[in-house]
Amino acid sequence: MNAVKYEGDIKDTVDAYNALNKNSQSGNYWDKTDAGIPEVKKHIKDHYKKVQEHTCVYCQQKIVVEHAMAWDIEHIIPKTPYPQFLFTEENLAVSCKDCNLIKFDKNVLKNPKRKRFPKKSEDYIISHPHYDEYDEHIHIIADKLYRPKDAKGEKTIEVCGLLRFAYKYTDYGETNEDIEITKQIVKLGKELISASNATETAFIIDCLKDLKDFREKKSRDIYLKSLLK
């Protein structure tokens, strides 16, 4: 992924922050409404929304919304405990609101005492948006189920709360739920054909069973309700 670049006034603002002494740098600086900060943030957000094609770096869900409020600038190493990396180009990305909120200040570093910016994949315990290939660590099944391929994948799923998508299978309270369930069953069927190993196959079959049970229970509920009318 191409990192953001700073030029002109934007660069001056960032340089001014980086020149501050350690005690004056703080995560709160990010919330300033003057000193050129809002412009820097807009520049960062516009850049990453574009290069990421409106896709969250952690859950990979695509959010095709231009409105700035739909997106959060994500500090991969969190900004409150590590204000020195507030504007570090490769510490930034955009994420969905949910991933950003759940990830919050959680540690992502192999060595949390690092002073200088860690620039290698192996310095991080999660899949890094700049230094890792997402697909090498996590396989997303039917847009909702996150299967870790290794320790980094496992940690990313934990830190960003990616299991929240799986819970949606059992939480269809919205309209058009039958259509949604049918769509999911079709998708899972396709995934089943291309499953790469026995664990994955068993996992997909379990999901299909859950959906089938849910649909049957729902049909039963509708039937019972119709009798009461």
Residues 40, 92, 96, 141: which binds Zn ion (CB under 5 A)? 96
**Stretches 12-20, 91-99, 122-130, 182-190: which one binds Zn ion (CB under 5 A)?**
91-99
For Zn ion, the closer CB: 86 or 99: 99
For Zn ion, the closer CB: 56 or 73: 56
CB-CB contact of 24 with 57 (8 Å): no
Q: Residue 73, exposed/middle/buried by CB under 10 A (0-12, 13-18, 19+)?
A: buried
CB of 162 to Zn ion, least distance (A): 8
Cα–Cα distance for residue pair 139/136, rounded to 1 Å: 8
Site for Zn ion in 99-128 (CB under 5 A): 99
Dihedral of the CA atoms 198, 199, 204, 209 (nearest 10)? 90
Binding mask 149-168 for Zn ion (x = CB under 5 A): --------------------
CB-CB contact of 155 with 125 (8 Å): yes
Sign of CA dihedral 55, 176, 98, 72: positive
For Zn ion, the closer CB: 56 or 86: 56
Cα–Cα distance for residue pair 99/104, rounded to 1 Å: 8
For Zn ion, the closer CB: 98 or 191: 98
Amino acid at the residue 188:
L
Number of residues counted as binding Zn ion (CB under 5 A): 5
Question: 């994949």: which residue's tokens?
Answer: 121
| Nearest residue to 87 via CA among 13, 193, 148, 157 | 13
**Stretches 29-37, 89-97, 144-152, 175-183: which one binds Zn ion (CB under 5 A)?**
89-97
| Nearest residue to 47 via CA among 11, 15, 92, 9 | 92
CB of 114 to Zn ion, least distance (A): 25
CB of 152 to Zn ion, least distance (A): 17
Helix (H, G, I), strand (E, B), or coil: what is residue 146? strand
Site for Zn ion in 29-88 (CB under 5 A): 56, 58-59
Q: How many helices (H) and strands (E) does the chain have?
A: 8, 4
CB of 39 to Zn ion, least distance (A): 26
For Zn ion, the closer CB: 17 or 48: 48
For Zn ion, the closer CB: 114 or 168: 168
CB of 59 to Zn ion, least distance (A): 3
Interface with Zn ion (CB under 5 A): 56, 58-59, 96, 99
